[in-house]
Structure 1
Amino acid sequence: MRVGYAAGGFDLFHVGHLNILRQARSQCDYLIAGVVSDEMLEVTKGARPVVPLNERLEIVHHISFVDQAVPEVLRDKMDTWEQLRFDVFFKGDDWRGTERGLRLERQFAAVGVEVVYFPYTVHTSSTALRRALQALSRPETLGRNAQAGVQE
């Protein structure tokens, strides 16, 4: 049985997240989705997620492509592998060719784990959604919304 692991923040769950999970499941028999903890997202992305970890885990757990959803609390992916022993690691292709991606490929190759990249969904991201939400909550935007009759 080929076990796959796809890690992500999965904050403000969107079609890009769904695409990664769908593609990952098509290339393994059992898919584990690692949902990055609030604290780790704050360290790596510089911002806390909008949706807290327990809710993101619940959402990802109920995606039909996912066999198991686990909190990702370890920064080092090799430590995560030590716990879960997956055979293939899935990542968006925004990591391909980067220093972090190449290092990860070398580390995983040493233990027989294949790294598979999927196309990054460029037209949507949690970061873009967060920016849109922030723009909508600015006082000047709230004033325009009120003038236009938009309900808050």
Structure 2
Amino acid sequence: MKIITFGTFDMFHIGHLNILERAKEQGDRLIVGVSSDALNFSKKSRNPICDEDARMRIVSALKCVDEVFLEESLALKAEYIQRHQADCLIMGDDWAGKFDHLADLCKVIYLPRTPAISTTQLIEVVKEIK
């Protein structure tokens, strides 16, 4: 079974690794869409700390990840699912319900996020240290 997931994966941390490893456990092949710098800015009104090439390289290096591509638009999720022939979309539960409309293309699962860790939180900690 092919699993597809998406994320920014900025300042890669244990929460990212946890969700990717749990996603891989759901199938044979894990395909990851890494949000482009422009998409990240449109979602969060800030540029990522690490650029898209670095983030794609980090995610590609993980043994649980089989394929990585650049996600350029949230509106193209259905196209990405079809292009990669994914059987299941897995997202963090912070997106719960937002992709249920894709259930006619593939199974949709929302996994719990790792408690007490987020990229936004890490960025705030680093700002305080300066």
TM-score bracket, shorter-length normalisation: over 0.9
Partner SS for 2:95: coil
- CA deviations over 1:21-74 (Å, ceiling 9, x no partner): 000000011100111001000000111100000000000000110001111112
Q: Quote the residue 2:104 is aligned against.
A: 110
Instruction: Give the TM-score normalised by the residue count of structure 1.
Output: 0.80
Q: Quote the residue 1:8 is aligned against.
A: 7
1:11–1:49 contact (8 Å) kept in structure 2: yes
Match of 1:121 among 104, 114, 121: 114
Partner SS for 1:133: helix
- CA deviations over 1:99-128 (Å, ceiling 9, x no partner): xx2xx212x2222x0111111113111100
Q: Quote the residue 1:144 is aligned against.
A: none
Fraction of identical pairs, as percent = 33
Q: Quote the residue 1:93 is aligned against.
A: 93
1:34–1:70 contact (8 Å) kept in structure 2: yes
Larger Rg belongs to: 1
> Counterparts of 1:92 and 1:21 in 2: how far apart (Å)?
10
> Counterparts of 1:96 and 1:115 in 2: how far apart (Å)?
10
Please give the root-mean-square deviation of Cα atoms over the aligned residues, in Å: 1.1
- What amino acid sits opposite 2:119 in the alignment? S
> Counterparts of 2:94 and 2:73 in 1: how far apart (Å)?
21
> Counterparts of 2:74 and 2:93 in 1: how far apart (Å)?
20
Partner SS for 1:90: strand
> Counterparts of 2:93 and 2:103 in 1: how far apart (Å)?
18
> Counterparts of 1:21 and 1:82 in 2: how far apart (Å)?
20
Partner SS for 2:64: coil
1:54 aligns with 2:53: yes
Q: CA deviation at 1:82?
A: 3.2
1:4–1:86 contact (8 Å) kept in structure 2: yes
Structure 2 residues without counterparts, runs of 5 or longer: none
Q: Quote the residue 1:80 is aligned against.
A: 80
Partner SS for 2:94: coil
**How many residues were matched structurally?**
129
Instruction: Give the TM-score normalised by the residue count of structure 2.
Output: 0.93
Q: Quote the residue 2:34 is aligned against.
A: 35
> Counterparts of 1:26 and 1:72 in 2: how far apart (Å)?
22
User: Following TM superposition, where does structure 1 have runs of at least 4 consecutive aligned residues deviating by more than 2 angstroms?
Assistant: none
Partner SS for 1:94: helix
